[in-house]
Amino acid sequence: MTDSLQTDLASDTVLDNAISAVTLLPETLEDALGDTLGGIAGDLVSGLLPDVPLVASVIGGRVTTLDLPQSAFAADIVGVRVLEAPEAGNLTVNPDNSLALVMTGHNNSQTELLDAKLEVIHADGTTSQLDIALTVAPTLQEAGWGEGDHYMLQTDAAGDVVVEHGTEHRKIYVSDSDAALSRADIAAMEGLDESDITGNWLSKHPSYGSSPATALKADAGMALWYEITDRDNDPNSHWLLFERGYDYGDVGRLVARGAMGESELHPQLIGAYGEGDRPVIASQVQLFQDASENIVVRDLALTDGAMVFGSDNVLFDNVQISGDELNVQKMDGFTLRNSEVLDVVHDTPVNDSDTWDALPNRKSGIYVSQSSGVLLETTLYDHNGWVEGYDYNLSTDGVQPPSIYSHNVYIQYNNTDVTFRDNITMRAASFGAQIRSGGYIEDNVFLDNNAALNNFGGNYGGAGYIGNYSLYADNLITSGAHKTIAELQGALTLGLGDFGNLSGMVDTIIAHLADPANAAEQLEKYITHTALQLSSVAEHPVYNDTIVYNWVGGKHIDDADEMHQNIDGLDTDLLDATTIQLFTAALLGTDTASIADLAEYLRATADGESLSADDIIAFFQAGFGIAPEARTEAETLRFVPNPLSDGIRWDNRLNWSTEDLPGTVAGDSVALAGNWVTYGGTTTLDGLDLGAGGRLSVSQGYLATGSLSTGGGTARVEIDGAGQLWSGAYGGAGLLELDVAGGRFANTGDFTGRAELTLSDNAQAILASAGGLFSLGAGSSLTLAGSALTAGVDGAEDGEAALVFDEAAALRFIADAEGFSSLTEFYSGHFSAPAEIHSTLELGGATLTLDVSAFTATTTQTLIEVDALSGSFGEIKLVGLGAKRDALLAYNYEHDTVSLTLGEASKGSGTLTISTTHEDGWVPNAGPEAAADSYETGYGERLVITTGRGLLANDADPDGDTLATLIETGPANGALRLGAAGGFLYTPDAGFSGTDSFTYLLSDGRGGQDSATVSITVGTWLDSLDRVEGTNGRDFLIGSDADEVIDSQGGRADTLTGGGGADVFDLTAAFGDGTRNSRTIADFTPGEDLLDLGGHEITAVRVASTRTLLYVGEERDTVILKGINTFDDDFLL
């Protein structure tokens, strides 16, 4: 996609009723829209106030680019700021000063009126205000854009999901090897009868099945698995692992009825271990009858398919589905990835008939109905719904024939938020993918299907347009299949059918219905159905650059040239050489190859590093002249909502300034620029700037950033589900609203900026890890709501993690019916094993609020437990205690805890008592004493201060306590990183010289604090140059070809030659000693060399043909510039 697609939408993308970008003045609105919106425009114009200069009409649930009219202003626009945002949607400023109005998620069914106000900054420095009146017409797709809210975990370097376990965890190893333990084996070892070895018995003897060495036979393993994971158990993250290389036959339903993973981050896992082929499971995977949640199935060969009904958050990764279909219904969060769905057919007809009746015998590779959050990616779908050698007349004496009802992928009209990307779907009975609901369809290969792809936007069977808008991006459709049968055959050689509203079609190729090098194939494929069919009822795509080439069969062979689309300027010889057959031949290293050869290769390499859809698409895009230029340098990617699509999805590359995804190149950073973005993927960044007003929603995947900032304003991050946000640093101005209602937030460095952090539900928050600091500063708050969350300290390495609260900070605990959560060390499950972390918490006089409104129990609960607790709270507020119940808040410095005891209801007087227990030998703390420090560094040079010269070298503590430092106010002209025991690293900003400073807070870990200022003198750029030093006698100084300072020092008469490079002639000490001195500069070069007179004043200038003389000071000291016949103030430093 080119830049013009993003900037010229007003002229390029307004088709029919699709208003995707608009620059309108009141008098032109009615003419521009006509009857498009049923007279809305006219009503709006007639009712406008005369001071409303900009009116626009948009469609609900979509993105609109609004261009400000330069003609309306006296001076050019150089900047725009949103002063008043509309009540719905989000309005931001694009890099070109156009506006992005994102209404995604606001799927209005009635016309709405919205207002906004802008400040416009002009080239002459003046500003003006601009009111905008917006008419929002009803969305044309009831479900709007899918927002990519899927169930997805972090992935590793190989693209496999990373499955963590929680605290309720047990592994069960199952094998069919001779060494595996049967019930009889265990009974013999235990002296019991075989009938005694039940699932319940095994659950109480965890040594059996807990390792590969004690692996169980399948019947024993499954009995144990059902015992510990069925509906009678609490949610857990147990793992069932089958050894590779064995066929286990029928093991039962595999997922216990009502099985519940411990959380989205800690699901139950059914998978494999060892080496060899994937374990073969011949029984159907069944999730139905009782709902299940948070289940991952991976690394298995499932030869009887799966039924996944009425559950939440189920993920299949690296599985092979065959035999029976994958049937998915009434799901909220279903993912299939890195898998194969192959040869799903009926072996015999389901009904008693002499023919294969199409409807009752329909069979698809995957069928999805009434589900939301469906992610299907990086999967091979091949040869589903039919068998080679079928009878044309459908006789049941033959194998299953294709039919109109059988597809590789069958996604019903009643689904929402479907993402279908990076798949290869080939040789289907009918459709490669029937996506009736609409969705996000990207980077797929549709190969040799009777029909490739269609979308109805949910409008099937009279349902209306209840589905999503659709984006087709970078898809390839090639080789139209021509499988014929006597009846209910369906399409032949059909390409893409788009029957939804206002789709976006970007860089799709539909080419080579038949191999252009195989004339016989082209004649054999006699019937040509449409390459690209658009609805006669729905609104056509807002953009469509689809290339159609050579999509013609024998019947229309003479009309081939008339059927091409968008091939102007392309080399048809090259297009004819860009075929799947030639791609496969090159892949296999053969002279010729077929689609069947490619299928065989894909199947053989599926359980490993396989060929991807992207590889095939890249080959075709190169041949068809639309290959994107690969980015090789790290950049700061700017989020720019694209009006061709959703405008909110992180995983949509059309929304990024580089048109690829962040993290494509190591070292990338991101600027969200105040946009509202939903995250998806696994990404590592150097930095993430949300921008003032920005919002980031992370409900899936893994996002790690070296630094996090808010652009100096208020920004919001919401984490939930399986989402993870890892930040190496947060600081600076602004306010971060961080709402973690699930998933995980992790601070791995220094968290020092102002924040309002709210934790609830089953959230995890790693506030600090080894070597890290979580500082809750003035104006910041931390709220722990409910009893199910975990918060505090965890990490991969041993070390110290510090939590520090300011006296102007607030800590809140809100109980639910089960009580409170605690602030403590915990094992998150992310790291391979718990680390030995020394946790410290300094309460610092912060305000504590305890809300017990929902908690009626008489009990003691620990609120805080660390390794070293110091300080105390300032104000303490107790909410919901009532007038007849008492409470005790206890500080225990011996065990480093803070606890709350609640008395029995109706047995108290509403009193809060505070108690303190000190360690043995405790004496009152004397605070530390911080002393100011000063350091020097050269121009452009980092200052590295080790412990011995560090901040603590001149600080003291009367009690001999171990001291720690943290940044209180950072430097204004450089970057600072504190190290251990007072060491630090300071890097001056580029071009800075002078004095910089910062303040640090000194803490004794027991509540005592002091602060001091550190001054750093950064030398000038002259200090960085080599010096050629003269004497106080007569000198003849000659420099080299490098940049240098030629310092003549004192004396009556010196001759200076700089040589090559940009030189500074330092004459500071040459003049002003009471005698008349001279300096001759033999090779002064204007524009490169400089004179440093050290404050001496030039009193006169004399210019001759071969030299220029400068007279300095009262003694008329002389500077002679040989070969120069001019003078300019720029000669002087």
Q: What CATH number should be reported for the domain holding residue 75?
A: 2.60.40.10
Note whether residue 823 is domain-resident: yes
Note whether residue 822 is domain-resident: yes
Same domain for 647 and 547: no
What pLDDT is attached to residue 8? Answer: 33
pLDDT digit string, tens, across residues 784-836: 999 999 999 999 888 999 999 999 999 999 999 999 999 999 999 999 888 89
What pLDDT is attached to residue 776? Answer: 96
Same domain for 616 and 480: yes
Nearest residue to 979 via CA among 968, 971, 967? 967
Please tell me whether residue 899 adopts helix, strand or coil conformation: strand
Spatial contact of 174 and 248, defined as CB atoms under 8 Å apart: yes
Q: If pLDDT is split at 50, 70 and 90, which confidence band does 358 have? A: very high
- Burial level of 1080, CB count in 10 A (0-12/13-18/19+)? middle
Q: If pLDDT is split at 50, 70 and 90, which confidence band does 74 have? A: low
Residues 402-427, mean pLDDT to the nearest whole number? 98
In the numeric block, the tokens 């265990």 are attached to: 186
Q: If pLDDT is split at 50, 70 and 90, which confidence band does 9 have? A: very low
pLDDT digit string, tens, across residues 471-523: 999 999 999 999 999 999 989 999 999 999 999 999 999 999 999 999 999 88
Residue 225 has phi, psi (to 5 degrees) of -60, -50
Note whether residue 533 is domain-resident: yes
> Edge-to-edge strand order for the sheet containing 735-740?
676-678, 695-698, 714-719, 735-740, 755-759, 781-785, 810-814, 847-851, 876-879
pLDDT digit string, tens, across residues 599-638: 999 999 987 667 899 999 999 999 999 999 999 999 999 9
- In whole angstroms, what is the distance from residue 501 CA to residue 485 CA? 33
Same domain for 766 and 716: no
What pLDDT is attached to residue 921? Answer: 63
- In whole angstroms, what is the distance from residue 193 CA to residue 1 CA? 71
Give the list of residues 6+ apart from residue 838 with CB closer than 8 angstroms, or none.
Answer: 799, 800, 801, 867, 868
- The domain tally of the chain equals 6
What pLDDT is attached to residue 26? Answer: 29
pLDDT digit string, tens, across residues 244-281: 999 999 999 999 999 999 999 999 999 999 999 999 99
pLDDT digit string, tens, across residues 662-673: 999 999 999 999
pLDDT digit string, tens, across residues 147-182: 999 999 999 999 999 999 999 999 999 999 999 999
What ranges in 300-341 are assigned the alpha helix state H?
none
* Long-range contacts of the stretch 569-575 (C-beta < 8 A, 24+): 569/625, 570/624, 570/625, 574/623, 575/511, 575/549, 575/550, 575/623, 575/624
Residues 1001-1026, mean pLDDT to the nearest whole number? 83
What pLDDT is attached to residue 980? Answer: 66
Q: Of 920, 952, 968, which residue sits at a domain end?
A: 920
- In whole angstroms, what is the distance from residue 411 CA to residue 436 CA? 6
Same domain for 456 and 491: yes
Same domain for 673 and 606: no
Which tokens sit at 469? 């808008």
Same domain for 824 and 811: yes
Nearest residue to 387 via CA among 413, 361, 369, 368? 361
What pLDDT is attached to residue 47? Answer: 28
Q: Of 612, 628, 644, which residue sits at a domain end?
A: 628
Note whether residue 558 is domain-resident: yes
DSSP 716-741: EEEE-TT-EEEEEEE-SSSEEEEEES
- SS3 percent helix, strand, coil of the chain, rounded to 5, is 10, 35, 50
What pLDDT is attached to residue 276? Answer: 95
Note whether residue 502 is domain-resident: yes
What Cα–Cα distance (Å) separates residue 828 from each residue in 295, 359, 752, 769, 814? 19, 50, 22, 11, 22
Which tokens sit at 128? 């003006």
- In whole angstroms, what is the distance from residue 33 CA to residue 53 CA? 17
Which amino acid is present at 566? N
Give the list of residues 6+ apart from residue 810 with CB closer than 8 angstroms, or none.
Answer: 780, 781, 782, 846, 847, 848, 849
Spatial contact of 121 and 81, defined as CB atoms under 8 Å apart: yes
Residue 40 has pLDDT above 50, yes or no: no
Residue 37 has pLDDT above 50, yes or no: no
Which tokens sit at 766? 């790693």
Which tokens sit at 235? 């949610």
Residue 614 has phi, psi (to 5 degrees) of -60, -35
Same domain for 635 and 621: no
pLDDT digit string, tens, across residues 528-570: 899 999 999 999 999 999 999 999 987 877 777 788 999 999 9
Across the chain, how many H-helices and E-strands are there?
13, 84
Residues 674-685, mean pLDDT to the nearest whole number? 98
Which amino acid is present at 288? F
What pLDDT is attached to residue 554? Answer: 76
Same domain for 424 and 518: yes
Which amino acid is present at 514? A
Same domain for 592 and 446: yes
Which amino acid is present at 73? F
Q: What region, left, alpha or beta, does residue 1072 occupy, with left being phi > 0 and alpha being psi -120 to 50 degrees? A: left
- In whole angstroms, what is the distance from residue 177 CA to residue 246 CA? 8
Q: Of 1003, 1018, 1033, which residue sits at a domain end?
A: 1018
- In whole angstroms, what is the distance from residue 963 CA to residue 925 CA? 13
Note whether residue 824 is domain-resident: yes
What pLDDT is attached to residue 959? Answer: 83
> Edge-to-edge strand order for the sheet containing 99-102?
21-22, 63-66, 99-102, 90-93
| Domain that residue 461 falls in | 354-362+381-628
Same domain for 431 and 527: yes
Note whether residue 185 is domain-resident: no
What Cα–Cα distance (Å) separates residue 473 from each residue in 440, 457, 476, 479, 535? 8, 17, 9, 19, 19
Nearest residue to 443 via CA among 377, 368, 541? 377
Same domain for 455 and 408: yes
Note whether residue 306 is domain-resident: no
Share of the chain above pLDDT 90, in %: 77
Spatial contact of 27 and 33, defined as CB atoms under 8 Å apart: no
Q: If pLDDT is split at 50, 70 and 90, which confidence band does 19 have? A: very low
Nearest residue to 365 via CA among 449, 283, 477, 439? 449
The mean predicted confidence, pLDDT, of the chain is: 91
What pLDDT is attached to residue 13? Answer: 27
DSSP one-letter code for 184 = H
- In whole angstroms, what is the distance from residue 264 CA to residue 267 CA? 6
Which tokens sit at 384? 């589903």
Residue 12 has pLDDT above 80, yes or no: no
What pLDDT is attached to residue 949? Answer: 86
Angle at 866 between CA 860 and CA 872, to 5 degrees: 75
* DSSP β-ladder status, 320-323 and 476-480: unpaired
- In whole angstroms, what is the distance from residue 381 CA to residue 341 CA? 5
- In whole angstroms, what is the distance from residue 989 CA to residue 971 CA? 10
What pLDDT is attached to residue 43? Answer: 32
Share of the chain above pLDDT 70, in %: 94
Same domain for 764 and 707: no
> Could you tell me which residue, 608 or 358, shows the higher pLDDT?
358
pLDDT digit string, tens, across residues 1043-1100: 899 999 988 899 999 998 999 999 989 898 888 889 999 999 999 999 999 889 999 9
Q: If pLDDT is split at 50, 70 and 90, which confidence band does 20 have? A: very low
What Cα–Cα distance (Å) separates residue 150 from each residue in 473, 679, 1107? 19, 10, 78
Size (the chain), residues: 1133
**End-to-end distance of the chain based on CA atoms, in angstroms?**
50
Spatial contact of 444 and 433, defined as CB atoms under 8 Å apart: yes
Mean pLDDT lowest among 574-588, 604-618, 622-636, 966-980:
966-980
- In whole angstroms, what is the distance from residue 1027 CA to residue 165 CA? 63
